[in-house]
A and B are shown apart, each in its own frame.
Chain A
């Protein structure tokens, strides 16, 4: 677009008092050739905003550069639809953080130049349009999958449901009774029939839902909005167009044969909690011993069987305490039978505490804390359960005629990719090792975010949970799937840049097929064509620009973000000729590090005058050419401030900051070629709440660069 730039300098909030605004305006007019340059004592006020609107209307201004405060504030006032809007935060980065009047002026001049260049280099976004469908694929026909399917169908979306078994219902089919829904105290009956049959009927009779039974997802090809999913069912294969996916493939019980020490396989009368459901269901509620068919009178429940145990499942399966409390009721339906629950901790969070309390009030249900060490044949047809550290004593032996092992949940994704994604990066979800095989998210705040756009996990494949939690979870996943399908159809990104209409637009003629983008993209958005050339699938892309950072040929660009844009900003940073005055460029993640700097400024903390700060979408977009170019024109050092990485990563794009760090380890070579010290470039992890450390972190880095000495390229 033909740009007509207007520069609007605010003189309020002490900007006018501490900066020579006239001089700033003259630089803009004379050396930057900005046709319209205006100032106002409160640009964000009604009058100031009107001034800008008037220029847009009457002077043809279509690119507005506001030299005032941080983009984190006054966003409503400075919103001019149809125009490129660029904010140069003079107040925060020059006025509030700089003490020396001369340095302040220099900083203001640099920041105005940098942001004018940025505006000149940018363009208005255009959405990426492709042919899409909004059909939602739900993998798994248990309670989670059926809930997702019904919720999406009721919202008016077409749903394809794939179930591996011959019938819908999943584990709920196997249950004798379930815990009743209660909004407060529980009252009798404490075990009720499940309504799974009604749910199955609702799914099968819903016109928006197509059900495939005895079916499997063979292949998931394509991208959100345009997946080609191959479903095989009873020997037939079919390719279905899909918009987004709910992964509700569920769980299986932990293999109890590994629990020999708890008597499983040693005695027939040691069963799992799932097997107990079968016993009750098949015998009209009577608990009959597998060994002799006699009614069990004294049943011991061993909690955390193979769970919370480094040798088995390290996690807690969340549902087993309540399950055993429920199953104790199966036992005590027989008036002369007792149940004993042997636990490490009873875990009935929230309102489930009432359910626990109801069991505590039942004299036929006994509970004790302890560590079960063994289950052995008592010699009289019964079993001995031995415990240590129990409430009943240091070492105790309990006799039972049936032992139930509360075994845990193993997610379907633990050893099967399920989705069978045809992605260069592999068929399953990445990061599963962080969650013991669960298709979970590493984000606390954004539960459905994984590293595969358009795929949202729900129910026990995501985390261990009970049935009512699974239903809530499935509803959330359905919403995210709908959202993704809608966003891709409209050509907009999904979380965390759900407003972003730009997309990566690589100039493929210059691609050398080095495949760094393919490898580094945190979301697997780039595959390869038959010749091995990277092939973008924009529907999978989250717009972090990691590919832009990875590309040695610098061919990846977005309308409003590209290598040349940031590179040009850097070229407009002044480099003092004085050897005692280093110049350092700080690249800061706009999501966390920049808000931290902004907050330090709000507190009027002082930041070393050597630095110029540039916001990046994500540190993953850092292209090494920026570093080489900046250092070769005399910039003394570069500091990258990005999110924490590692197991508990905080990067909103999962891998961005880690990749930036990785790339920096490779930059040494380049620096070596320039005969520069590697220490001139450093990355530091900075969380958003560490703003009080910002002046020290920057100050320390400046000191280190001073110790190294001036960049020998200075002045060239």
Chain B
């Protein structure tokens, strides 16, 4: 029999972390499984949160501290749940542990990266720059441990990084492993992926050089990003001063994501503040169907709308092409308010790509999903955050705290009997 008060949290992003710390602080034993080499998930890549424009790492740091000080939490990075079997109160979960090639001896001294001669595309920055094959995922990554991407190791350099480490932390012979866990209940917080912009033919991504996604914009604006926070367009590194935002890029669209992704209106409004802050002359134009800023977020919309250099056009974008003979981008759309076709030129276009639940591309055996890949609650298994419905960070926090109580009640079906 497993310990009845033991909860498995699949996913170490914002929702998973919230679930984990709230459950552990209520006395449960929690195990977190995270596929990346670091905790924090999608929000770790964000530059600022709307509407406060505060850094996401601030809240993450507190949650990391709550993990560090709580013996009830264990976490595995570079780990993936392979299957779930059993039932409420007694689940068996198999977890694959991928090799980090760096063990717990790592002191984050950077010697391995300095010795490393191989480079790899930096997926944290959506491939917009590179890192060494031995690297720290980002400056404030937790755990503060290096990782080696062995697929980029060159035959002869392996010894160099191993020799550079004085603490025997580099272990290139590490093999994948499997562990089996017994838990009472499960919270699925596998989060989301940006919808694949390559599938949005008419919006030019991948063909028109200066069309990027909203997540790429977060990295461009971030001080830890590929351009150290300067918003430069990809083709020529010129500061992007006149930017279009294309809303519902793939969302609210029968051929792509039929639902609304909740965050993209607010994300674009937020991103206009990034460019406006960097350059007094800069301009932003938002092409939208509806501006969705529910609740108190309305005031954030007003703040952006008050900026004379930000304009709004209600209408769906029909076509995005590169201007002949330049790197500028031509956007064609129909302005629904005037019933006229508009054709406008921009330095760069940001596609507000939507939120595809992780379950759309990868399902966990033993977890139920709907037709879009959102996980469904099942006695003893509870989805939290964007795993179950598109939502912002605030709602994910709230939802994940709620998931704890459901999971606790189920994990300990005898009740705590106060």
Binding site for B on A (CB under 8 A): 12-14, 41-42, 44-45, 69, 72-76, 134, 151-152, 154-158, 183-185, 308, 314-318, 345-354, 357, 369, 389, 391, 435-436, 438, 440, 442-448, 463-465, 469, 472-476, 478-480, 482-483, 486-487, 495-496, 498-499, 591-592, 595, 599, 602-604, 644, 648, 650, 652, 687-692
Q: How far is the CA of A191 from the CA of B22 in the complex (A)?
A: 36
Which residues on A sit within 8 Å (CB–CB) of B416?
155-157
A/B interface sample: 30 pairs, CB < 8 A: A13-B109, A42-B167, A44-B105, A72-B144, A156-B416, A158-B418, A183-B370, A184-B371, A184-B374, A315-B299, A346-B290, A348-B260, A350-B259, A351-B389, A354-B259, A369-B336, A464-B294, A465-B295, A482-B26, A483-B25, A496-B62, A498-B66, A498-B69, A595-B61, A602-B144, A650-B52, A652-B62, A687-B55, A688-B58, A688-B140
> How far apart are B94's CB and chain A's nearest CB, in angstroms?
25
Given A350-B259, A448-B398, A476-B398, also A44-B107 (CB < 8 A): yes
Q: Which 5 A-B pairs have the closest CB atoms?
A: A445-B59, A156-B415, A475-B402, A476-B401, A345-B290
Cross-chain contact B166 with A692 (CB below 8 angstroms): no
Cross-chain contact A42 with B402 (CB below 8 angstroms): no
A155, A438, A440: which contacts B405 (Cβ < 8 A)?
A155
Which residues on A sit within 8 Å (CB–CB) of B144?
72-73, 602
Given A154-B415, A447-B398, A595-B61, also A463-B258 (CB < 8 A): no
Cross-chain contact A353 with B62 (CB below 8 angstroms): no
Which residues on B sit within 8 Å (CB–CB) of A45?
105, 167
> How far apart are B404's CB and chain A's nearest CB, in angstroms?
5
Scan residues 371-401 of chain B and give those whose CB is less than 8 A from a CB of chain A. 371-372, 374, 376, 389-391, 393-395, 397-401
> How far apart are B176's CB and chain A's nearest CB, in angstroms?
23
Cross-chain contact A157 with B66 (CB below 8 angstroms): no
Which residues on B sit within 8 Å (CB–CB) of A42?
105, 107, 166-167
- Chain A residue at minimum C-beta to C-beta distance from B26: A483
Which residues on A sit within 8 Å (CB–CB) of B61?
591-592, 595, 688
Cross-chain contact B54 with A444 (CB below 8 angstroms): yes
Cross-chain contact B27 with A156 (CB below 8 angstroms): no
Cross-chain contact A391 with B105 (CB below 8 angstroms): no
Q: How far is the CA of A482 from the CA of B418 in the complex (A)?
A: 11
Which residues on B sit within 8 Å (CB–CB) of A650?
52, 54, 58
Residue B408 lies at the interface, judged by CB distance under 8 Å to chain A: yes
> How far apart are B125's CB and chain A's nearest CB, in angstroms?
15
Scan residues 20-46 of chain B and give those whose CB is less than 8 A from a CB of chain A. 21-22, 25-27
Residue B337 lies at the interface, judged by CB distance under 8 Å to chain A: yes
Cross-chain contact A316 with B294 (CB below 8 angstroms): yes
A76, A352, A444: which contacts B52 (Cβ < 8 A)?
A444
8 further interface pairs, Cβ-Cβ under 8 Å (given A350-B389, A443-B59): A76-B68, A316-B294, A445-B62, A486-B27, A591-B58, A602-B139, A648-B52, A687-B54
- Chain A residue at minimum C-beta to C-beta distance from B299: A314
Which residues on A sit within 8 Å (CB–CB) of B393?
444-445
Cross-chain contact A438 with B296 (CB below 8 angstroms): yes
Cross-chain contact A345 with B291 (CB below 8 angstroms): yes
Which residues on B sit within 8 Å (CB–CB) of A463?
295-296
- Chain A residue at minimum C-beta to C-beta distance from B136: A602
Which residues on A sit within 8 Å (CB–CB) of B296?
315, 435-436, 438, 440, 463
Which residues on A sit within 8 Å (CB–CB) of B401?
447-448, 475-476, 479-480
- Chain B residue at minimum C-beta to C-beta distance from A598: B140
Given A75-B68, A448-B401, A473-B398, also A318-B294 (CB < 8 A): yes
Q: How far is the CA of A438 from the CA of B299 in the complex (A)?
A: 14
Q: Is the interface of A mostly helix, strand, loop or mixed?
A: loop
Which residues on A sit within 8 Å (CB–CB) of B290?
345-347
Q: How far is the CA of A464 from the CA of B18 in the complex (A)?
A: 22
Q: How far is the CA of A69 from the CA of B167 in the complex (A)?
A: 15
Scan residues 106-146 of chain B and give those whose CB is less than 8 A from a CB of chain A. 107-110, 139-140, 144
Which residues on B sit within 8 Å (CB–CB) of A648?
52-54
Residue B70 lies at the interface, judged by CB distance under 8 Å to chain A: yes
Q: How far is the CA of A487 from the CA of B66 in the complex (A)?
A: 14
Q: How far is the CA of A579 from the CA of B293 in the complex (A)?
A: 58
Scan residues 47-95 of chain B and give those whose CB is less than 8 A from a CB of chain A. 49, 52-55, 57-63, 65-66, 68-70
Given A184-B370, A316-B298, A349-B292, also A369-B262 (CB < 8 A): no
Q: How far is the CA of A652 from the CA of B107 in the complex (A)?
A: 29
Given A350-B391, A487-B25, A691-B139, also A479-B107 (CB < 8 A): no
Which residues on A sit within 8 Å (CB–CB) of B53?
648
- Chain B residue at minimum C-beta to C-beta distance from A687: B55
Q: How far is the CA of A353 from the CA of B167 in the complex (A)?
A: 55
Q: How far is the CA of A402 from the CA of B294 in the complex (A)?
A: 27
Cross-chain contact A154 with B409 (CB below 8 angstroms): yes
> How far apart are A514's CB and chain B's nearest CB, in angstroms?
32
Cross-chain contact A602 with B394 (CB below 8 angstroms): no
Q: How far is the CA of A689 from the CA of B59 in the complex (A)?
A: 11
Which residues on B sit within 8 Å (CB–CB) of A644?
54
Cross-chain contact A350 with B314 (CB below 8 angstroms): no
Which residues on B sit within 8 Å (CB–CB) of A445?
14, 18, 58-60, 62-63, 393-394, 397
Which residues on B sit within 8 Å (CB–CB) of A652?
62
Q: How far is the CA of A675 from the CA of B25 in the complex (A)?
A: 50
Given A75-B68, A496-B62, A691-B139, also A316-B295 (CB < 8 A): yes
Q: How far is the CA of A185 from the CA of B372 in the complex (A)?
A: 10
Q: Scan B291-323; emit 1 where CB is below 8 A from any A CB, else 0.
A: 111111111001000000000001000000000
Given A315-B299, A435-B296, A603-B139, also A692-B66 (CB < 8 A): no
Q: Scan B229-266; emit 1 where CB is below 8 A from any A CB, else 0.
A: 00000000000000000000000100000111110000
Q: How far is the CA of A158 from the CA of B166 in the complex (A)?
A: 57
A155, A183, A308, A469: which contacts B376 (Cβ < 8 A)?
A183
Q: How far is the CA of A334 from the CA of B21 in the complex (A)?
A: 52
Cross-chain contact A464 with B398 (CB below 8 angstroms): no
Cross-chain contact A473 with B294 (CB below 8 angstroms): no
A155, A156, A353: which contacts B252 (Cβ < 8 A)?
A353
Q: How far is the CA of A338 from the CA of B416 in the complex (A)?
A: 54
Which residues on A sit within 8 Å (CB–CB) of B222?
689
> How far apart are B28's CB and chain A's nearest CB, in angstroms?
11
Q: How far is the CA of A183 from the CA of B388 in the complex (A)?
A: 9
- Chain A residue at minimum C-beta to C-beta distance from B168: A45
Which residues on B sit within 8 Å (CB–CB) of A155?
405, 408-409, 415-416
Residue B417 lies at the interface, judged by CB distance under 8 Å to chain A: yes
Q: How far is the CA of A98 from the CA of B259 in the complex (A)?
A: 54
- Chain A residue at minimum C-beta to C-beta distance from B377: A183
Which residues on B sit within 8 Å (CB–CB) of A13?
107, 109
Which residues on B sit within 8 Å (CB–CB) of A438?
296
Q: How far is the CA of A463 from the CA of B293 in the complex (A)?
A: 13
Q: How far is the CA of A443 from the CA of B394 in the complex (A)?
A: 8
Cross-chain contact B297 with A316 (CB below 8 angstroms): yes
Q: How far is the CA of A648 from the CA of B398 in the complex (A)?
A: 19
Cross-chain contact A183 with B25 (CB below 8 angstroms): no
Cross-chain contact B55 with A689 (CB below 8 angstroms): yes
- Chain B residue at minimum C-beta to C-beta distance from A643: B58
Which residues on A sit within 8 Å (CB–CB) of B390?
349-351
